[in-house]
Structure 1
Amino acid sequence: MLTPPSSKEELMARCYALAGLTLGQIAAQTQQQIPDNLQKYKGWVGQLLEHVLGATAGSKAEPDFPQLGIELKTLPVNATGKPLESTYVCVAPLTGEPGLQWHESWVCQKLQQVLWLPVLAERTIPLADRVVGTAFLWRPNAAQQKVLQQDWEELMDMISLGGIHNIKGATGKVLQLRPKAANSRARTDAIGAHGEPIKTLPRGFYLKASFTALLLQEQFQLA
């Protein structure tokens, strides 16, 4: 892994140096093995790019570049620049967190400043041939911050009041709650409909693809 970038400018310079390269070329530069597919190695692309950019946080509850306060998110897109999936933000606390405010939440802290790194990743393109695009930095504006907060508060209220099983993918305008587990046998503590402790699939907060599509449109003036 490279030493962590000492400034935002150095980080962006590293990103721009990757633009137009394939994952195979980047893996070869860093002597990384390319997996046959991403089914067993779902986080491999993000880990490769974290490695080559000098990210240090790993799975810790802090931004990927803690000294810069910047979170890295890879964004798989198709040939027209449309996101192919929702974007994982962080694990959701399913036992509620009484008194937790939006600005104290892990979601809020993760999304204060995001380095988006698009990757042309249509399923038909072999993993080694997928191409890294042009990175850009994003901070939520007041309107985006407001809708993120509203979604988070709605979802956390439902969790705290025992409504975990009533939360659907459509719940929330830009932020959604989805299962986040290595397999269907994984279980974690949660609150049941009558306030009783239950076991359920772990969940994670995700940004909807419709939201990240808007970010790409704004950044690159996409049609």
Structure 2
Amino acid sequence: MRFESEIELLSRAQEAEGMSFYEIDRTGRIDNEKAKGHLGQIIEESFFGYEVNSNAEADFAELGIELKVTPVKELKNGQLSAKERLVLNIIDFHKEALNSFEDSSFWRKNESLLLMFYKWLPDIPRGNYRILKSHLHRFSESDLQVIRNDWSIIVAKIKAGQAHLISEGDTAYLGACTKGANRKSIRTQPFSPEPAMQRAFSLKASYMTTLIRELITAEHLVPIAEPDELQQKSLGQLLSDRFKKYEGMAVEDIAKEADAPLNTKSKSFLPLFVSSLLGVKGTSLEDIEEFSKANIKFKTVRLEPDGKPKEHMSFHTINFQEWINEEWETSLLRTMFEETKYLLVVFGYQETLRENPDRNLYFKGVHLWNMPMEEIEGRLKDFWLEGRAILEEGVLLKKTNRGISNNLPGPQSNGLCHVRPRARNAGDRIILPDGQPITKQAFWIDREYIGEITKKLK
């Protein structure tokens, strides 16, 4: 089936809205539950009437439009979310390093996307999944500037002989995700003898979720950057510049200048501080467009005069049953740090608490950080493997004067991270894989490591 115009193509795609894959399929592919990617192939063959292929050009070559069929899931709170990232085309490290953005395989293939969203539901035959929305997507000027920068970051690593160190956390909207997780998925790279995992360009799940929020549930997100700003600066540089005028100021003085009542002991302190200084006071941080698309999370860092925070930095509560059963490549810990950026909002004290119980808190700056891939595949992986080995052997619990100790990796055990309790009270417990009860534990980054990250703000 050949389409003469974009309008004709989109009109045809919109006819699928509300239809199930059982109703669309004419090939019998839907009965092969184990075959990945077949839902997209069903749309290609049965709905649009063209043969499945692996051509370098876009699917609807006459219009320069690529078809992507992608799942949407419903969260416990009723909100819709992308189920996964949108995988685009495989990256040829040797060829991509020779291209400009305009000549890149990413841009030639994905400049225009026909997105067909379907509702994913657990525990039902996938033939019952239904098409929710068809949308012809072209990147806004602001998005395109961020994506250009993301592409440049990926290619710069290839040119530096670091294709094996590419991480999705390096970039904001456009990722380079691993494609396959076995020896056959290893590729050579042009500027290093080090083998690298096969990767594909992808739009991050956070980017796709934001698109779903705008298209399907009509949520309004607030941008903080103009396209011309993003032409000159990366998102990280832009954020740093927005906060720069307040660096070195006491929080009380910032509150007066920004006209924002800031209570540093309140849970709402950080969101109010960030939104006020960005000029979008009253806006939830999740509703800031750039933060939502780039999956940027926020962490407060309060440095003591010695340049280190007093406390370690907490992350998610640990599900030990998942830890013992998952594989490293798809583990929650690896995925979290590879796919997430953190905006560290850094404050500092000039005096110790003993020197001055009423000491002032000063703003030092912001730092957009993601864990480097060499750290993820180094100390983080070692920690994960050590923890799983202990779980498989059985955790040793010992009664002490201070409570119950365990032999899970503790502070300073590896210089990066550790396990320690995070519970409202000692009775807040979970069950270990070996059946023993233990106070709820969380994953923490060592305070010394956080101090090293924030040194560059001095």
Same structural fold, with TM-score higher than 0.5 when normalized by the shorter chain: yes
Q: Which has the higher helix share?
A: 2
User: Normalized against structure 1, the TM-score is what?
Assistant: 0.86
> In the alignment, does 2:3 pair up with 1:8?
no
**2:99 corresponding residue in structure 1:** 100
Q: Secondary structure at the match of 2:118?
A: strand
**Residues 126-162 of structure 1: CA distance to partner in whole angstroms, max 9, x if unpaired?**
2111111120111111111111110010011111211
Question: Compared with structure 1, are the counterparts of its residues 137 and 196 closer, same or farther at alpha carbon in structure 2 (3 Å cutoff)?
Answer: closer
**1:113 corresponding residue in structure 2:** 112
**1:69 corresponding residue in structure 2:** 64
**Residues 45-64 of structure 1: CA distance to partner in whole angstroms, max 9, x if unpaired?**
11111111235672111111
Could you tell me how far 1:16 is from its partner in structure 2? 1.8
> In the alignment, does 2:200 pair up with 1:201?
no
After superposition, residues 98-177 of structure 1 pair within 5 angstroms as 98-177=97-176
Could you tell me how far 1:214 is from its partner in structure 2? 1.8
Taking the aligned partners of 1:205 and 1:103, their CA distance within structure 2 comes to: 15
Taking the aligned partners of 1:12 and 1:98, their CA distance within structure 2 comes to: 34
Partner amino acid, structure 2, of 1:42: K
Instruction: Using CA pairs under 8 Å that are at least 6 residues apart, name the structure with larger relative contact order, 1 or 2.
Output: 1
Flag the structure with larger Rg: 2
Partner amino acid, structure 2, of 1:87: L
Could you tell me how far 1:8 is from its partner in structure 2? 2.0
Question: Compared with structure 1, are the counterparts of its residues 55 and 222 closer, same or farther at alpha carbon in structure 2 (3 Å cutoff)?
Answer: farther
RMSD: 2.0
Partner amino acid, structure 2, of 1:126: P
After superposition, residues 19-30 of structure 1 pair within 5 angstroms as 19-27=17-25, 30=26
Partner amino acid, structure 1, of 2:209: A
Question: Compared with structure 1, are the counterparts of its residues 85 and 105 closer, same or farther at alpha carbon in structure 2 (3 Å cutoff)?
Answer: same
User: Normalized against structure 2, the TM-score is what?
Assistant: 0.44
Taking the aligned partners of 1:165 and 1:201, their CA distance within structure 2 comes to: 6
Question: Compared with structure 1, are the counterparts of its residues 96 and 162 closer, same or farther at alpha carbon in structure 2 (3 Å cutoff)?
Answer: farther
Question: Compared with structure 1, are the counterparts of its residues 127 and 198 closer, same or farther at alpha carbon in structure 2 (3 Å cutoff)?
Answer: same
Segments of structure 1 that go 5 or more residues without pairing to the other structure are none
Taking the aligned partners of 1:218 and 1:163, their CA distance within structure 2 comes to: 36
Q: Contact 1:174 / 1:211 at 8 angstroms: preserved in 2?
A: yes
Question: Compared with structure 1, are the counterparts of its residues 26 and 97 closer, same or farther at alpha carbon in structure 2 (3 Å cutoff)?
Answer: closer
Could you tell me how far 1:166 is from its partner in structure 2? 2.1
> In the alignment, does 2:31 pair up with 1:35?
yes
Taking the aligned partners of 1:104 and 1:15, their CA distance within structure 2 comes to: 28
Q: Which has the higher strand share?
A: 2
Segments of structure 2 that go 5 or more residues without pairing to the other structure are 221-458
How many pairs were matched up?
A: 213
> In the alignment, does 2:48 pair up with 1:53?
yes
Fraction of identical pairs, as percent: 25
